[in-house]
Amino acid sequence: MNIPLGDYLKLLRGYLRNERGRVALLALLIILGIFFEIANPQLVRLFIDEAQADADYARLVGLAATFVGLAMVRQIMAVGAAVLGESVGWTATNALRGDLAAHVLGLDMAFHNSTSPGALNERIDGDVTNLATFFTQMVIKVIGNGLLMIGVLIAVARVDARVGLAIGAFALITIAVLVRVRTWGIPYQVANRARSAEFAGFIGERLSGTEDIRALGAVNHTMWQLDTLLRAWYPHNWRSGMVWLVTFFVTVLMFAVGITVALWVGSSLWQAGLISIGTVYLIFSYTEMLRRPVNEIRQQVEDLQRASASITRVRDLFALKPAINDDQARPPGPSVPSAPTVAFCNVTFAYEDDAPVLHDVSFELPGGATLGLLGRTGSGKTTVARLLTRLYEPKLGDILLAGDSMRHLPLTVLRQRVGLVTQDVQLFNASVRENVTLFDDRISDDAIMGGLSGLELGEWLTRLPDGLETRLKSGGAGISAGEAQLLAFARMFLRAPGLVILDEASSRLDPATERLLDVATARLLQNRTGIIIAHRLATVQRCDYILILDHGRVLEFGRRLDLALNPASNFYSLLRADLHEVLA
Partner 1 sequence: MTATSPRSLSTAQLIWRLMGYRPWLYSGNVLAWSTVHMVPLLPGLLNREFFNTLTGNATMGLSLNTLLLGTFALACLTAITELLGALVDIPHRFVTGHLLRRNVFGHIFTRPGARAIEGSVGDVFNIIRDDARTVEDLLSWVCDVSGQILFSIVALIILLSINARMALLVFVPMILVVWVAQRANDRIYRANEVKRNADASVSDALNEMFEGVLGVKVAGGEARLVRRLAALSETRKRAAVRASILNSLLQSLFGNTVQVGTGLLLLVAASLMQAGTSASFTVGDFALFVYYLGFVSNLTVFWGRLIVTVQQSSVALDRMDGLLQGAPNSVLVRYRPLPLRHALAAAVPDYIGESAPLAHLETRKLTCVHPSTGQGVRDINLTIRRGEYVVITGRIGSGKSTLVRAMLGLLPLTAGEILWNDKPVGDPATFFVPPRCAYTPQTPRLFSQSLEDNIRLGAAVSDEKLRSAVRQAVLEDDLAGMEHGLTTRVGVRGVKLSGGQQQRAAAARMFARSADLYVFDDLSSALDVLTEQRLWQRLGDLQGATFLVVSHRRAALQRADRIILLKDGMLHAEGTLSELLAQNDEMRAIWRTEDGEANNP
**What minimum distance in Å lies between the beta carbon of 567 and partner 1?**
11
Alpha carbon distance, N-terminus to C-terminus of the chain: 79
Say how far apart CA 465 and CA 578 lie, in whole Å: 44
| Amino acid found at 405 | S
Instruction: Select 1 or 512, whichever has its Cβ closest to partner 1.
Output: 512
For 356, the 3-state DSSP assignment is strand
Q: Is beta strand 404-405 parallel, antiparallel or unpaired with respect to 396-401?
A: antiparallel
Mapped onto helix, strand or coil, the DSSP state of residue 555 is strand
Nearer CB in complex with partner 1: 1/68: 68
**β-strand 499-503 against 418-421: which pairing, if any?**
parallel
Measured from the CB atom, the residue of 28 and 245 that comes closer to partner 1 is 245
* Residue 54: φ, ψ to 5°: 60, 50
Q: Which is nearer to partner 1, 403 or 478 (CB)?
A: 478
The dihedral over CA atoms of 407, 408, 412, 413, expressed in degrees to the nearest 10, equals: -130
Cβ closer to partner 1: 149 or 483?
483
CB of 319 to partner 1, least distance (A): 19
Least Å from the CB of residue 437 to partner 1: 8
* Cβ proximity to partner 1, 3 vs 323, nearer residue: 323
- Minimum Å distance from CB 345 to partner 1? 22
Burial letters 10-25, b for 16+ CB under 10 A, else e: ebbeebbeebeeebee
Name the residue nearer to partner 1 (CB basis): 6 or 510: 510
Tally of CB atoms within 10 A around 249:
12
Rounded to whole angstroms, the Cα distance separating 516 from 529 reads 21
* Residue 6: CB minimum distance to partner 1, A: 26
Closest CA to 297 of 186, 149, 152, 188: 149
Cα 500 from Cα 486, distance rounded (Å) = 15
Query: For partner 1, which is the closer residue by CB, 97 or 153?
Result: 97
> From the CB of 407, what's the least distance to partner 1, in Å?
16
Query: Cβ closer to partner 1: 1 or 583?
Result: 583
Amino acid at 148: L
Shortest distance, position 81 Cβ to partner 1, whole Å:
8
| Cα separation, 252 vs 242, whole angstroms | 15
**Residue (of 313, 22, 40, 287) closest to 139 by Cα position:** 22
In sequence order, what are the beta bridge partners of 26? none
CB of 347 vs partner 1, minimal distance in Å: 18
Work out the angle at residue 294's Cα, subtended by the Cα atoms of residues 126 and 279, and round it to the nearest 5 degrees. 155
Name residue 361's beta-bridge partners: 347
CB of 416 to partner 1, least distance (A): 6
Q: Based on CB atoms, which residue is closest to partner 1, 3 or 351?
A: 351
Taking the C-alpha atoms of residue 429 and residue 76, their distance in angstroms, rounded to an integer, is: 42
Contacting residues for 458 by C-beta, under 8 A, at least 6 apart: 449, 452
Smallest separation (angstroms) from partner 1 to the CB of 357: 9
Query: Which secondary-structure segment (H or E) carries 306?
Result: helix 277-319
CB 364 to partner 1: min, Å: 23
How many Cα neighbours within 13 Å face the side chain of 347? 30
Q: Which is nearer to partner 1, 155 or 472 (CB)?
A: 472
